[in-house]
Chains A and B, each alone.
Chain A
Amino acid sequence: MRTALSPLTLRQPRSLAHALRLLRDEGPLTPLAGCTDVFVGLNFGTLGDRRFLNLWPLDQLRGIERRAGVLRIGALTTYTEIIASAVVGRHLPMLVAASREIGAVQVQNRGTLGGNIANGSPAGDTLPVLAAAEALVELRSADWTRKVPFTAFYTGYRVSVRRSDELVTAIEFPEVAGAQWFRKVGTRAAQSISKVVMAGVRAARPRIALGSVAPTVVRVPRTEEALAAGATIAEAQAILQEEIHPIDDIRSTASYRRRVAANLLAQFWNGSD
């Protein structure tokens, strides 16, 4: 650990209400869910946060339920729990597919859906699924609860509309009509961060979302409209190139990402695996 331990504090809330009061009255506090990314920054001395809030024991933030066509997943639900869920498998199989691609078993056992959202990496594996499914993010503070469309959640690179006194408490998915599709392209099968990740829904109005090709996860509405209007795949691929903004970084290059994104679009739309 390159970060000194003694100055780091970890508040232990007794309940969700207590956690929200601590955030409001004694913040700023960095909420910890499964902690799979926080220690990467602490170990390498790149994370400046010093005061943390332990959410892990708050069981009321766990659980999966479906009511009136809405699938609701608690923010602390782990990827392992999502993979094991029959109801998610039936109604949102692309989320199960994404969860299987995250890290490996050890990370799937700790990592949470809410953590993936709050962490806000543009490479987050579940995020294109949330964008394509048009999920709602439930944010709660000590004083209010609000629901934000996931597609309006991020305002920039790792910046979101979540206030520092709010927690992501649940994610709600309306019924998704159409065939769901998910694909992650990384360096190896397990334990890799995506070079390009894409989720799509094939329907009369297709929905397509990509990660690792812009500062945030993106929907590509013009590409979707073109496909809905009967454009050829080549035409749609050309439009896609205008809607994504990949960069060169340690994991890949912009040109490779553009090529892969175009290929994934074709695979998705042609219905091939």
Chain B
Amino acid sequence: MKRPAFRPIVLTVNGARTAVRVPPMKRLLDVLREDCSLTGTKEGCGEGECGACTVILDGRAVNACLIPIGQAAGARVTTIEGLKGRHRLQAAFANLGGAQCGICTPGMILAAVALGPRPTLAQVRTGLAGNICRCTGYEGIYRAIAAARTARSRKAAASSQKLDARSRTSAEGRKQPKSRLPAEAPRAKAGVPSPESRPSTVLGAALSVSKGRVPPLDRARGGPERVEGPKAPSRSRS
């Protein structure tokens, strides 16, 4: 069978001009993963419900599973790889139990990035209502975002942030070395937050092998900011 020739579709991915020759109805999610080798963007439900595939398109959080690449021509796309493992939210998620199994984490972080540098808790709840997490109960996620917000205001803390390249929250592109799980939990590492916020799974432990330092605010400030459970924004009242 003759292979149809597809016109190149040009878009900007993580700052780099990228041309792909793919069917125009191929999902942005699949183009990122299969044609751009950017596998940090995850597929969860494939129907716009779970938010695992969230990327930032022209400044706004969108579900990459719902966008045909033909609608992204000329657009600017930021994926988790675009944060280069250096964004303060990545360090905060890794250090404060914002990530456990990791599937929702890239989308969760990008949805948080789209909220700007200083979202209120209400804005975080609304902004992340489309990102579903089966592990954390959301409290660690909200805590991480609150910490990153505070970290920004503390320049000293922000300047020392640096994530290990192996972090699951950073790029998983093919140029990355394969991650290895650490032999032991990172408890001995300095700067690991309090037991309540420490990741409890093995993969979560891998996340914490970050050399980054988001200050353990829950200690420094006398306890974590009180966040309630996974209640989505006050919407349905019935």
- Nearest A residue (CB) for B70: A10
In the complex, chain B residues whose CB is within 8 Å of the CB of A36: 48, 63, 66
Counting CB contacts under 8 A, is A203 at the interface? no
B49 x A191 contact (CB < 8 A): yes
- Nearest A residue (CB) for B49: A191
- Report the Cα distance A80→B26, complex, angstroms: 25
CB A252 to nearest CB in B, in angstroms, measures 13
In the complex, chain A residues whose CB is within 8 Å of the CB of B129: 104-105, 189-191
CB A109 to nearest CB in B, in angstroms, measures 4
Give the interface size class of chain B: 35 or more
Counting CB contacts under 8 A, is A62 at the interface? no
- Report the Cα distance A144→B236, complex, angstroms: 41
- Report the Cα distance A52→B26, complex, angstroms: 13
Q: Is the interface of B mostly helix, strand, loop or mixed?
A: loop
- Report the Cα distance A43→B64, complex, angstroms: 13
In the complex, chain B residues whose CB is within 8 Å of the CB of A186: 236
Residues 31-58 of A contacting B (Cβ, < 8 Å): 32, 35-36, 39-40, 42-44, 52, 54, 56
- Beyond A105-B126, A106-B48, is A10–B68 a contact (Cβ under 8 Å)? yes
CB B131 to nearest CB in A, in angstroms, measures 8
- Beyond A105-B111, A106-B111, is A54–B70 a contact (Cβ under 8 Å)? yes
- Nearest B residue (CB) for A108: B130
Counting CB contacts under 8 A, is B233 at the interface? yes
- Beyond A5-B23, A10-B24, A10-B25, is A103–B238 a contact (Cβ under 8 Å)? no
- Report the Cα distance A104→B228, complex, angstroms: 19
Residues of A within 8 A of B (CB): 1, 5-6, 8-10, 12, 32, 35-36, 39-40, 42-44, 52, 54, 56, 80, 100-101, 103-107, 109-110, 183-186, 188-192, 260, 263-264, 267, 273
Residues of B within 8 A of A (CB): 4, 23-27, 30, 46-49, 51, 54, 60-63, 65-68, 70-71, 73, 111, 114, 126-127, 129-132, 231-238
A-B residue pairs in contact (CB < 8 Å), sample of 11? A10-B24, A36-B63, A100-B235, A106-B61, A106-B130, A107-B130, A109-B61, A184-B236, A190-B233, A190-B235, A192-B236
Task: Sort A-B residue pairs by CB-CB distance and give the 3 closest, nearest first.
Answer: A104-B130, A190-B129, A189-B232
